[in-house]
Copies of this chain bind each other. A is one copy, B any other.
Amino acid sequence: MKKEHKDQINEAVQAIKAKKKINHIYFVACGGSMALMMPAQYILDCESEIPATVYTANEFVYRTPKALGDDSVVISCSMKGMTPETIEATRLAREKGALTIAMSHIVGSPLWETAEYPIHYDWLEESDMTNHNHTILHCLIFNMLHAIAPNEKYERAIKAIDKMDEIFKANIEKYASQALDFGRNYKREKIIYTMASGGNYGPAYSFAICLLMEMQWVHSNAIHSGEYFHGPFEITDYDVPFIIVKGMDSSRYLDERAHAFCKKYSDKIVLIDAEDFDMKDMDQDLKGYFASIVVGVVLRGYANALAEFRGHPLTVRRYMWKMEY
């Protein structure tokens, strides 16, 4: 990880350490940037007693949680730093006395200027992925956790982060031919469900709403594996496609149960099993937390292949950036 990123994270974490009390950590963003925050919120929920919640930015702005105030920490994110809702949520949080941390790819963007502690991340597929948004956020989270209360996983997590570029690239390579199979075999589908639980719900949500609905105009819905048997499973049929993620989190059982049922009744199951990931020599108890961000990177490869086979580039839009809304 670049020194610039480490320094920015360190500055934010020192400010958190200086706080007498933290009543709530809010993750505030929109769409893909919001989905990015779900695995981070998940880590906090498992490792800390401080409440942490993810909000879509405009809900946070228009019906602000009562607990937001001097004791709160608000972490926001927007790639170009131009998302009006996220900027407004960050401004509002700062006005209410919260400690504001914002992640953006663009130094000096409106979001960058709005937050007290901005953190930069890289965004180029060929670059060192240790500097990308997911890894930067994981690094921030483990540093925060350790600053709030000594966390035994901290040093091992930081070592793991140093290997994430290698891990991401090994798995992109490993899943390259499966991604092509997916693109070829699913290019005619009008609807594709995704399903996951725990820290992997974020990448499953992102794949459903950003990659499929937004960038491919394919109908979708990210089903929580734990909710599947309480309604959604009745939609399962031989011709209904599901991408199912089996995690390495403690909620893996939920995914296994959903997959075992779903594959009996649908002939169109795509399984991403995190236990097959090449996680290098990562400690077992950290794999679940880091697998979530590998899932997102692997799924991106599936989206690239789908776009290629459908002749519909991921950059095509009919509304976004083309009109006022």
Contact = CB atoms under 8 A, between A and B. Distances in A.
Interface stretch (A100-108, A172-180, A247-255, A268-276): A247-255
A292 interface: no
Highest count of chain B CB atoms <10 Å: which of A49, A215, A220, A231: A231
A226 interface: yes
A49 B226 CA distance: 28
Contacts of A57: 226
Count of identical protomers in the assembly? 2
Contacts of A265: 319
B317 A234 contact: yes
Interface stretch (A28-36, A91-99, A117-125, A133-141): A28-36
Q: How large is the interface on A (under 10, 10 to 19, 20 to 34, 35 or more residues)?
A: 35 or more
Given A46-B63, A51-B24, A235 B254 contact: no
A191 interface: yes
A53 B51 contact: yes
A251 B63 contact: yes
A197 interface: yes
A250 B48 contact: no
Nearest to A50: B67
Interface in A210-235: 210, 213-215, 217-221, 223-224, 226-227, 229-235
Given A65-B46, A66-B47, A325-B261, A213 B226 contact: no
A59 interface: yes
A291 interface: no
Interface string A17-37: 000000110000011101000
A47 B261 CA distance: 41
Nearest to A78: B230
Contact of A226 (B30, B209, B215): B30
Contacts of A227: 30-31, 34, 56, 209
Contacts of A320: 229, 233-234
A51 B51 contact: yes
A221 B220 contact: yes
A6 B244 CA distance: 44
Interface of A: 23-24, 30-32, 34, 42, 45-51, 53, 56-59, 62-63, 65-67, 83, 85, 191, 197-198, 208-210, 213-215, 217-221, 223-224, 226-227, 229-237, 249-254, 257, 261, 265, 317-320, 325
